[in-house]
Amino acid sequence: MDKKVRVRFAPSPTGGLHLGGVRTVLFNYLFAKKHGGDFIVRIEDTDQTRFVEGAEAYIFNTLAWCGLTPDESPLHGGPYAPYRQSERKPIYKQYAQQLVDAGFAYYAFDTPEDLEQMRVQYKTAENPSPQYNHALRTKMRNSLTLSAAEVTELLADGTPHVVRIKMPLDETVSFTDMIRGEVSFNTAQVDDKVLLKADGMPTYHLAVVVDDYLMKITHAFRGEEWLPSAPVHILLWQYLGWSADMPQWAHLPLILKPDGNGKLSKRDGDRLGFPVFAMDWTDPKTGETTIGFKERGFLPQAFVNLLALLGWNDGTDNEVFTIEELITAFSMERVHKGGAKFNYEKALWYNQEWIKRATSAQLADQVAETFAAAGFAGFDSAANGVAGSNAVAADRVLLLRVIDLIKDRCTLMADFVTQGAFFFVSPSEFDTASIQPKWTEQKNMFFIELFKAFESSIVWEAHDLENTFKEISAAHHLKPGELMLPLRIMLVGGKFGPGVFEIAEIIGKQATVNRIQKVLRILEHQ
């Protein structure tokens, strides 16, 4: 590539970031890094009526969580600042005026009432939604139908007006999409889009072209829902004399509902019980919170991995990629044309794989936060009696051991609590119903002797505890296999968890003895 690759993600700060938006970020980011280029984030906030407080910060927090850091943005700066379109307002008017002066655009003085009357007056069965286009612009109040003197007077009086592009009557506009190949449009099917609004702010159509040109964007990747706008943008590049600098475009496939029937939406996520936003988003107007992948318990590496495979693959059966591997493998040629079905079960599989592959040290901070959020202050053993700062260090060592023991059983971060809460507190309930049918006085005597032996143990390590267990079971002429389930339920509360002697070692002597005694008392009264 001759020019340095420069790509951009240009969100509107109107709400939470849908996973489709994050995938657009990801594909831009991967392409830029693959080719040694720059990834820019530009905030498209020209529609102030839709601006939502906190949305911009949310977008950058999401990108930070995903590890997709821009090279240039309102937060990171750069040579083409400002990166918020609302701060670039003075730039756009000159280009709108240039288009008007060249006859490629015109002033339209129609009031909202005029536009509503147009939609009613010209509505027919064949055309139920009349548009401001080549057919109707001659019937409206604009600089194409008014005299030059009238236009001059209206402008001088400060009459509210917009600037619209004058779409050619019957031309074919074509471009080569990096995913779809040759794409063509007939201009007769496109209405005269507003380029500059009455408040002087540009619409997306003008701003995206001007900013892509001024910021030297070489490749523009966006969702396929923007495909119908392509002819307007192509003509603007031509009309402004910038055709030679127009970026290469790629329109990314939609992310579809699990059944493949239509685009995945927030409503689908709410209905089917899975997140479609990257992080929790609370609407400041309604107070409604939409749960995100982060808060649902996904690792950012897993989230990025699953997004990459929604509509792309590297031509192999490989499904698990680090971000470095994705950068190396990514190419737009491997992006699919058709939509990609979102499968939440597959998303869970990705997270489980990433938890399995992560080291306990890599997971420790997030697991600790998960336990703290669930109300667990520390291990039931209080770090086995160690005091002061050494207790904190001991707790960390124990936490790493716990993670190693249970992470293969966890799909979401909350599962660490489900699978490991008994390390922190004594179970509130015990599945004694699974013990009772085969409980005997002989077993009762065994466990009494066992907890007394544990109480007097000097060395508290899993191997020694297991030996003690086996020696006492042999003395009582009991098979260890008959006693393991009761011991597990005494320590854990149910039929799950890692090795029971490792559990005992971690929770400590006093917690182990207390739990055995507690269940013996319960069984005594059943």
Residues serving a catalytic function are 266
**Cα angle for residues 174, 246, 95 (degrees, 5° grid):** 105
H or E element at residue 155:
helix 148-156
- Written as one letter, the residue type at 89 is K
User: Which residue(s) pair with 175 in the sheet?
Assistant: 183
> How many Å apart are CA 100 and CA 163, to the nearest integer?
8
User: Which residue(s) pair with 202 in the sheet?
Assistant: 196
Closest CA to 317 of 31, 309, 353, 349: 309
User: For the purposes of burial, counting CB atoms within 10 Å of the CB of 56, is it exposed (0-12), middle (13-18) or buried (19 or more)?
Assistant: buried
Q: Given the structure tokens 């179970």, which residue do they identify?
A: 427
* Sequence-ordered alpha helix ranges (H) in 15-107: 19-34, 55-66, 89-101
What are the backbone dihedrals phi and psi of residue 485, each rounded to the nearest 5 degrees, phi first? -65, -50
User: Which residue(s) pair with 281 in the sheet?
Assistant: 290
Question: How many residues are there in the chain?
Answer: 526
Assess contact for 469 and 483: CB atoms under 8 A.
Answer: yes
Spatial neighbors of 75 by CB under 8 A, at least 6 apart, are 60
> How many Å apart are CA 332 and CA 30, to the nearest integer?
10
Q: Each residue of 122-149: b (16+ CB within 10 Å) or e?
A: eeeeeeeebbbbbebbeebbbbbebeee
